[in-house]
């Protein structure tokens, strides 16, 4: 699509590769880790996923922005640093759209570049791994761009969860607006009937949580209290929870020391059902004595197959680190899922304790609904102990 008043922009990677394109969204320069997402839909949810904090996101789908922006689908008030697209649509066509995509980017100070060969860029990232880079609409030479990049921190070793976590406790009461399948709705109604009498309560530890996750928990009949990422063992148990949830989030999981120490204490206690996803899953693994490592270019998309023993579900993922399966003791941990693309650990559970986790996002925000049963499983573990 042609855009009037094109303004030149460029993308420079840490290896010196330069792409020339055009600026949209906010003006200026931004430095961050360049990653890519293979999803064909849900760009508003993806851009506002706190797990992308500190990163510049490349969309492999060639046309972004054609459905505009609405006031319901943002997963948080946090966004990516910048976006890279083949083309963006300045026209919108969707009954829910309230705002032009470009204007929304400007209001949220997100710098974008379009008109580059995103296929070539993704091939570089797949071959060389995710790397830092800079997007700029300013007249900055290559040497200056490379200096910006060299001064930027690498993702490995960064505790970004503390940057995106809530600073104070709050209750979440909103439910999911999307209708899921009949089996799930029947289970939800059953749970609500029980919980209305017994006040089943979840404490959710916020490492960068998405609102869709909270809404799915509420839709399954739970009362959800969200606590900051640096909450202590005493803070959590003081709430007398029926279940504890460890959320997704950005950065290097091995640097989230408060979360790892909290998980260790709660796992040792072992009496309260626990469910972790994404960063929470990695924190569980680290608390159990495991190790994590940085993936070459991460898993970011809506179609990752995961499973074990001929049971497969298509999942939504957004992470750059993974658990080393050799570091997990099979005496206390059972691996329940593998990512079937590369055989990385995608799920685990503790033997003889009501604790489990997955590497993906089961709430379908955005993504398929295959994994919604995990919320049912979490609720069932709590109901067994009521």
Kindly list the catalytic residues.
Answer: 278, 361, 363
Location of structure tokens 């960063």: 279
Mention every residue, 6+ apart, whose C-beta is less than 8 A from residue 32: 54, 55, 56, 80, 81, 82, 132, 133, 152
Lookup: tokens for 185 = 């709705």
In the chain, beta strands by DSSP E:
8-13, 18-25, 29-37, 55-59, 63-64, 82-85, 87-88, 111-114, 131-136, 170-172, 201-205, 223-227, 243-246, 274-277, 292-308, 311-323, 333-339, 345-350, 355-358
With 0-12 / 13-18 / 19 or more C-beta atoms within 10 angstroms meaning exposed / middle / buried, residue 27 is: middle
Q: In 244-341, where does DSSP find H-type helix?
A: 257-269, 279-287
**CA distance linking residue 148 with residue 295, whole number of Å:** 24
């Amino acid at each position: 699509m042609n855009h009037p008043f094109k303004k030149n922009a460029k993308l420079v990677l840490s290896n010196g590769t330069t792409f020339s394109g055009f600026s949209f969204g906010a003006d200026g320069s931004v430095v961050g880790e360049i990653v890519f997402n293979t999803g064909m839909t849900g760009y508003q949810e993806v851009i506002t996923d706190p797990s992308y904090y500190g990163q510049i996101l490349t969309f492999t789908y060639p046309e972004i922005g054609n459905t505009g922006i609405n006031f319901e689908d943002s997963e948080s008030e946090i966004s990516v640093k910048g976006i890279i697209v083949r083309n963006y649509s300045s026209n919108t066509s969707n009954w829910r759209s309230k705002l032009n995509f470009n204007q929304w980017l400007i209001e949220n100070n997100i710098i974008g570049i379009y008109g580059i060969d995103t296929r070539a860029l993704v091939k570089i990232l797949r071959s060389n791994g995710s790397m830092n880079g800079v997007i700029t609409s300013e007249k900055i030479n290559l040497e200056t761009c490379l200096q910006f990049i060299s001064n930027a921190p690498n993702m490995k070793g960064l505790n970004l969860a503390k940057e995106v976590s809530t600073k104070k406790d709050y209750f979440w009461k909103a439910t999911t607006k999307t209708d899921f399948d009949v089996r799930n709705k029947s289970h939800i109604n059953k749970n609500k009937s029980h919980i209305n009498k017994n006040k089943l309560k979840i404490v959710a530890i916020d490492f960068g949580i998405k609102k869709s996750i909270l809404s799915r928990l509420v839709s399954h009949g739970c009362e959800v209290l969200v606590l900051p990422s640096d909450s202590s063992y005493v803070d959590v148990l003081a709430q007398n929870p029926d279940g504890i949830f460890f959320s997704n989030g950005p950065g290097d999981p091995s640097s989230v020391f408060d979360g790892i120490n909290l998980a260790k204490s709660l796992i040792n206690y072992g009496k309260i059902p626990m469910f972790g996803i994404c960063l929470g899953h990695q924190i569980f693994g680290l608390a159990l004595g495991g190790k994590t490592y940085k993936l070459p270019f991460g898993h970011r998309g809506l179609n990752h197959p995961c499973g074990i023993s001929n049971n497969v579900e298509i999942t939504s993922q957004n992470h750059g680190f993974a658990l080393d399966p050799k570091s997990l003791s099979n005496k206390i941990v059972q691996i329940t899922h593998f990512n079937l693309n590369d055989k990385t650990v995608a799920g685990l559970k503790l033997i003889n304790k009501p604790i489990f986790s997955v590497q993906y996002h089961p709430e379908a925000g955005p993504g398929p609904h295959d994994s919604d049963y995990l919320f049912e499983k979490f609720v069932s573990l709590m109901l067994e102990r009521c």
